[in-house]
């Protein structure tokens, strides 16, 4: 008999979903040092494993399987073009917190259909640097917290909660109910992000490159703001825009 209320397809899991593959030296080291991660197996070349041992001397006592492999072995298990730095960690995914359980100790970033894992990973790096409380995106039209995203985050994924929700507008409303001002980043906005009155507690809402914020997302924001860019060229990568936006708001205190 079929389920009366089956889970949406993006919430379904199979056995392959139970583990994630993290690669790249910084991503793997950060994951190994994260007590919230459950590690299963570490695979690497001799040089890469020795480098891990230099950073984590007690790696042998952590209870995970350590296997020496060749660069070709790793490339066969990953995409042939993957830059894995000779190291890969098989582990369980981090438990994603519920929106209501997020501890607010700094700003929040909400991403409106930013799909490129390189961009989201870079945003997580900036988020970790600016003590962001969480990066929130949606189940659909967003990358999973593993692989390319984790490597691009260079360890940031282990320091900043990465939360996926079904409805971004509802997430914005939830944050507003907690007294958090949601600022939509829009290059056509009249107000500058560094102008008085635009400071925390706050959330920075960002759209995908090209499309920007969706109309519904814009409507839910408390106000739309733009970056203070003095040059004539105003087209920025979304991860660069996130870093500048966080810095500008940090300067306001």
Q: Which CATH architecture has domain 99-251?
A: 3-Layer(aba) Sandwich (3.40)
The average pLDDT across 64-84 equals 89
CA distance 94 to 33: 13
Q: How far apart are CA 38 and CA 195, in angstroms?
A: 44
Asked if pLDDT for residue 208 goes beyond 90, the answer is: no
Tell me: pLDDT of 252 over 80.
no
Given a cut of 50, is residue 4 above it in pLDDT?
no
pLDDT in tens, 31-70: 999 999 999 999 999 999 999 999 999 999 998 999 999 9
Can you tell me the distance from the alpha carbon of 36 to that of 26, in angstroms, rounded to the nearest whole number?
Answer: 17
- Average pLDDT, integer, range 151-159: 95
Q: What is the per-residue pLDDT for 82?
A: 82
Q: Where are the domains of the chain?
A: 15-91, 99-251
Architecture of domain 15-91: 2-Layer Sandwich (3.30)
The mean pLDDT value for 216-244 works out to: 89
Which residue's entry shows tokens 């583990």?
19
Instruction: State the average pLDDT over residues 22-28.
Output: 94
| Omega prior to 247 cis, within 30 of 0 | no
pLDDT at res. 171: 97
Average pLDDT, the chain: 88
**Helices assigned H by DSSP within the chain:** 25-33, 46-55, 71-77, 117-129, 147-153, 168-177, 215-220, 238-251
pTM of the model: 0.87
pLDDT at 78 over 90: no
């Amino acid at each position: 008999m079929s389920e009366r209320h089956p889970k949406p397809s993006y919430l379904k899991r199979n056995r392959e979903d139970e583990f994630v593959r993290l690669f790249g030296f910084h991503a793997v080291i950060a994951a190994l040092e994260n007590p919230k991660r459950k590690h299963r197996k570490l695979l690497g070349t001799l040089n890469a494993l020795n480098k891990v041992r230099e950073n984590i001397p007690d790696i042998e006592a952590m209870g995970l399987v350590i296997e020496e492999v060749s660069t070709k072995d790793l490339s066969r298990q990953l995409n042939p073009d993957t830059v894995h730095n000779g190291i890969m960690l098989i582990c369980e995914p981090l438990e994603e917190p519920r929106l209501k359980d997020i501890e607010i100790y700094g700003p929040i970033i909400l991403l409106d259909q930013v799909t490129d894992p390189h961009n989201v990973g870079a945003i997580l790096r900036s988020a970790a640097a600016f003590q962001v409380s969480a990066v929130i995106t949606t189940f659909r039209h967003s990358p999973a917290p593993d692989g390319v995203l984790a490597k691009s985050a260079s360890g940031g994924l282990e320091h900043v909660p990465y939360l996926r929700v079904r409805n971004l507008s509802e997430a914005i409303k939830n944050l507003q109910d907690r007294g958090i001002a949601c600022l939509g980043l829009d290059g056509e906005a009249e107000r500058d992000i560094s102008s008085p009155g635009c400071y925390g507690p706050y959330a920075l809402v960002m759209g995908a490159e090209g499309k920007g914020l969706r109309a519904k997302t814009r409507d839910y924001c408390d106000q739309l703001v733009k970056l203070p860019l003095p040059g004539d060229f105003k087209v920025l990568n979304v991860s660069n825009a996130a870093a500048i936006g966080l810095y500008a708001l940090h300067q306001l205190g």
